[in-house]
Each structure stands twice: as C-alpha cells, then as structure tokens.
Amino acid sequence: MNIHLLENMSNFVKLDDNDWESGWWNLDEGVVKKLVGGEIYFHKTRSTPSYYGGIITGYRIEQEGQYQGMIVFTLKHNLSCRNVKTGIRGWSRKIKIIDNE
C-alpha cells in the first residue's frame, strides 16, 4: 500500500543521513501497519505532483502533548517519490491511500 498526504507545514525531522520522520497523522494503526514498506508521497495540494517522499520504514504513536495518539511515520527519502502525480479522486481530507492488491 502507498499513501499520498497533503503536507504544507514541512513537519519533517531528520533522524540521520537518509532517515526522516513525518507527523502527525490521524490514521488507524491497522491501516498504518499495512503501509510499512510502501511508498509515501507528500503534496502541497491534491492536484500538484509530490515534492518529497520515500519508503515507509516504520511508525510510532505520539505518546504525549497536543499530538498524543497520532501517527508519526519513519521513512527513507527516495528521489523517485518526487514529482509523482495522483488522480484527484480518492482523497479523504489530507490523505489518499492506494491499495496495490
């Protein structure tokens, strides 16, 4: 499974050389588990190509503060996840999940 997200705040944290975190997302953990190993794409709008992305290597659930209970993805940046377009259909607010099965 792959996921496209609207991300206008640049909520990215560099963990090390090519590992990043992106948060905070309101997603069901069951869905998130299926996304690990898939691609993640970040867009400014639904109609523009992705400006950033990578391979989802894992996730965590924020444990405290205003984002408690929300998902934070860990990912490895991948240039092939830039400039990727997705159709306008299938978006649910800021999220579009594509099931490759």
Q: Write the pLDDT tens digit of every residue in 7-49.
A: 988 889 899 989 999 989 999 999 999 999 999 999 999 999 9
Secondary structure, 3-state, the chain? CEEEEECCCCCEEECCCCEEEEEEECCCHHHHHHHCCCEEEEECCCCCCCCEEEEEEEEEECCCHHHCCCEEEEEEECHHHCCCCCCCCCCECCEEEECCC
| Mean model confidence pLDDT for the chain | 94
Nearest-angstrom CA–CA distance, 1 and 98: 6
pLDDT per residue over 44-53, tens digit each? 999 999 999 9
What residues does each domain of the chain span?
A: 2-98
Residue 59 has pLDDT above 70, yes or no: yes
* pTM, 2 dp: 0.93
52-67: average pLDDT: 96
